[in-house]
Structure 1
C-alpha cells in the first residue's frame, strides 16, 4: 500500500523552503484580491505570470473558461504526469473565507518545488487553474466539472490538491453528490377578480413544492432538499402571478440514489404543469458527483504529513463518522475529477475544530500566520506524495491499478463509501495503526 522509502523526501522539503517566501506571497496576494467564480481575472493572470517566471509553459483560457489555465513543466525523459489543482475563487462579501488562496499557493509551491526532480527522474508536472469551485451564479457549472467533461485531466496519472479546514489534517474524506437547479413555472397574468382568465404560476410552484415534500416521505431521510423562492410572482397581490421560480439544492449519500430522487422531482414538475396549465421547466445549474478516494495516495500523503510533524485523522475514524451521519455533508467539483483519474483531495489544518469555513474568522486565518503555516505544510506534503510516484514506478502502477479496479466495477466497489461501506483493505488500515 505504501511506496518504498523515498530518498527524495528531504530534497523536496528543501526545495519548498527555498521558495517559501514566494509561496506565502502568492497565498497572501490572492487573499488580498478576492474575486467571484468565473471573474477571477486578477488571480488567474497572477498565477499565469508566476508560473511562466518559474519556467512553466502556460495555456489559457482552457475548456472555454476564461479564468482557467494549464501550466506544464516536462522532462525529456518519460514518466508519470502529475497534476496539482489550484482554486482561487472567493465568496461574496466574505472574501477568501474558504481558503482557496491556500489551495492555489500550495499547488503552485508543490509544482515549482518538483522541477529539478522531474528533470532528473522523468515525467511532467501539470499545474491546473480550476476556477469557480463555489459555483454561486446561474452561469456556474463548477470549473472542474466543465474541465473534466472537456478531457483536461484525461492524460494525468494522478491529480492532487489540499483544502484548508478547521480540525486535524486529513487524507480521506468523503464528498457528497450534489444537484443544484431552478424550477420555473410560466403562467398567465390576470386580475384577481377574474382568476379564471389567468394561470397562477405561484400556485403551481407551491403545489410542486408541496408534492415534493409529500413524496419525500418515501425517500431516505438522508436526502437533502433545500429551496428558496427566488421569484414569488411579483409585488402586486391583486394580479395573478405570471411567473414563479425556486432555487433548489439536492444532496444524497450516493449519486445513483440522488439521480433517482431527482427524476421524481422532474415528474412532479410535469404533473403540476399538466394539472394547472402553468408551463414548468427545470434548469440544472451545477451537478457534482460523489468522491472516489484513492487509498494508495491517501496512505502516501498520510505518511508524508506525519513526517512533517503533522497529525493525521485516521481514515477508519473518518469512515465511521461517515457511517453515523444522517444527513449529507460537503460537496466539491473535485469529485468529478476523481471519476476520471486517481485523485486525492486532502485537508490541511488551519485552526481548531471550532474554526468553520465560510466565516469571517476563517477568512482572517487564511490570510495570516495560520494560513502561511498551512500552505507550507500542504505544499510539502503534496510534493512529497508526487515524488513517491516519480521515484517509485511500482507505486505509480499501484495507484493507477486501484483506480482501474474501481472503474472496471463501475465505481460500485470502492471501499469505505456509501451505499455499501465496504471494508478497507487490511494493509490500508495497518498503514495508519
Structure 2
C-alpha cells in the first residue's frame, strides 16, 4: 500500500473514540493508584489484561524487568511499529508527569490499530516501559534487542507546551570520592588533609566553569558524605553529580572535563580522587521529524496545533533517547496545563486526572494510531524516516 486512506484514518479515530470511556477508566485507575519505578505491578497487570482481551500475545518480565512487557498483534511480512507505554509515578507526587495519560493513549492506539489493520499489513507492538522516572526501563529493553526489527517507536508526553518534539538532553551521574587524612583540627592542624574541603573546592570550580558551558550542558551536585563529627578533619568526602549535555558526544566530553577538574582540585589540596561514571545514563533524544511532522498533522484534526520548541530550551532527559538512537522515534509534548506551570508539581498531577487530561489523551491516541498506520502502510514514508535517522546519526545530532 502507499499509505492509509482517509477512510482508514476515520476508522482509527472511531475505534479510539468508542473506547474513550474505557481508556479514561484505565487512566484514572493508574492515576489513583500510583506505583514507583520498578514497582508498577498493578499497572502492568491492568494494561496487559486489556491487551490480552483484545487478542494481543503477551510477554512479561522482558529484559529481566518484572514490570516490563511486550504485547504483539500481527506477524505478517510488513513493517513493525512500537507504541511505548509509561506508567511509573513520582514519590509523594503521584502521576505528576502524566504517565497515566501516556499509558492510556498508547493502549488506545494499539487497540485501534489491531481492530482496523489486516495482519498482513504489519505488526503492532505495545511495549510496557517501566521506570522512566528512575533507572530508565527503556535502556535495558533497547539493549536486549526489543526494538530490533521495529520501524518506528511512537509515544506522546503531556506537558505545558504544545511542541512537535521534545528537546531532551543526554545525562549521566558521576560519583566523586576524595581521600585525605584525618587529624584533630586544633591539636594537630598541619597533619590533617581535608577531603571535604577538596569536595567543596570542586563545587566552587564547577560553579565557575558552568558559566561558560555550551547550551544544553549543565551539572548539579550534592554532598553524599562530608564526615561525621566536627572535631576530626574529614579523611573522606563524596559527592554525586548529575551531568547533562545537548548530545551524547558532548556529554562524554563534559564527563572527561569534569574528571580533569577533579584531578586538578586533588593536586591543589593534597588529596587523591576517584571519579566514577555510574551506569549507562540516557542518550539525547533524536527526533525523527518525518514522523513527528505527521503526528502534528494528525493531532491538528483535534484542534491542537503543535509548534517547534523554543530555540535553546531543554527540558531534561528521558530514556526515550536510547530508543531514538536505534529506530525512528517521536516524543511530542501536548499541553494539559499552561506554559507558566511545570510538571513534577501537585498542579500537574491534578491536571493529569482532569477533563483536559482526558481530552489530550484521546487526541494523542488518535494521532498515534494514524501515525502508526502511516508507517505500516506507506513504504516511502518509512524509508524517509529511516533516511532521516541515518542522516542525524552521521551528523551527531
TM > 0.5 fold call: yes
- The reply on whether 1:253 has 2:246 as its aligned counterpart is yes
- Checking the alignment, whether the CA contact within 8 Å between 1:165 and 1:355 is kept in structure 2 is no
Is the alpha carbon distance of 1:78 and 1:222 closer, same or farther for their aligned partners in structure 2, counting shifts above 3 Å? closer
Q: Which of 283, 290, 297 is equivalent to 1:303?
A: 297
Is the alpha carbon distance of 1:198 and 1:96 closer, same or farther for their aligned partners in structure 2, counting shifts above 3 Å? same
- Checking the alignment, whether the CA contact within 8 Å between 2:4 and 2:373 is kept in structure 1 is no
Superposition deviation, residue 220 in structure 1: 3.4
Question: What's 2:132 paired with?
Answer: 133
- Checking the alignment, whether the CA contact within 8 Å between 1:118 and 1:390 is kept in structure 2 is no
- Checking the alignment, whether the CA contact within 8 Å between 1:118 and 1:125 is kept in structure 2 is no
- The reply on whether 1:396 has 2:382 as its aligned counterpart is yes
Is the alpha carbon distance of 1:71 and 1:199 closer, same or farther for their aligned partners in structure 2, counting shifts above 3 Å? farther
What RMSD over aligned residues (CA atoms) do the two structures have, in Å? 2.4
- The reply on whether 1:291 has 2:285 as its aligned counterpart is yes
Question: What's 1:417 paired with?
Answer: none
| 1:238-293 Cα shifts (integer Å, max 9, x gaps) | 02224322221222333322321210111233344455344423242562222211
Superposition deviation, residue 212 in structure 1: 3.3
Residues of 1 paired with 2:5 and 2:197: CA distance?
A: 66
Residues of 2 paired with 1:94 and 1:125: CA distance?
A: 33
- The reply on whether 1:382 has 2:375 as its aligned counterpart is no
- Checking the alignment, whether the CA contact within 8 Å between 1:6 and 1:388 is kept in structure 2 is no
Is the alpha carbon distance of 1:156 and 1:221 closer, same or farther for their aligned partners in structure 2, counting shifts above 3 Å? closer
Question: What's 1:61 paired with?
Answer: 61
Superposition deviation, residue 231 in structure 1: 2.0
Question: What's 1:110 paired with?
Answer: 109
Question: What's 1:44 paired with?
Answer: 44
| 1:100-144 Cα shifts (integer Å, max 9, x gaps) | 111111111110111133335521111111111112xxxx2x111
Tell me the secondary structure at the aligned position of residue 95 of structure 1: coil
Question: What's 1:340 paired with?
Answer: 326
Tell me the secondary structure at the aligned position of residue 125 of structure 1: strand
Tell me the secondary structure at the aligned position of residue 63 of structure 1: helix
Q: Which of 372, 375, 378 is equivalent to 2:358?
A: 372
Question: What's 1:22 paired with?
Answer: 22
- Checking the alignment, whether the CA contact within 8 Å between 2:152 and 2:375 is kept in structure 1 is no
1:193-204 matched pairs, under 5 angstroms: 193-195=187-189, 199-204=193-198
Unaligned runs of 5+ in 2: none
Superposition deviation, residue 35 in structure 1: 1.6
Residues of 1 paired with 2:182 and 2:270: CA distance?
A: 14
Superposition deviation, residue 304 in structure 1: 0.7
Question: What's 1:144 paired with?
Answer: 138
Question: What's 1:178 paired with?
Answer: 171
Question: What's 2:13 paired with?
Answer: 13
Tell me the secondary structure at the aligned position of residue 127 of structure 1: strand
Tell me the secondary structure at the aligned position of residue 21 of structure 1: helix
Q: Which of 313, 324, 342 is equivalent to 1:356?
A: 342
Question: What's 1:86 paired with?
Answer: 85
Question: What's 2:305 paired with?
Answer: 312
Residues of 1 paired with 2:142 and 2:180: CA distance?
A: 38
Q: Which of 210, 216, 232 is equivalent to 1:239?
A: 232
| 1:188-213 Cα shifts (integer Å, max 9, x gaps) | 54433335555432122123323334
Superposition deviation, residue 14 in structure 1: 1.1
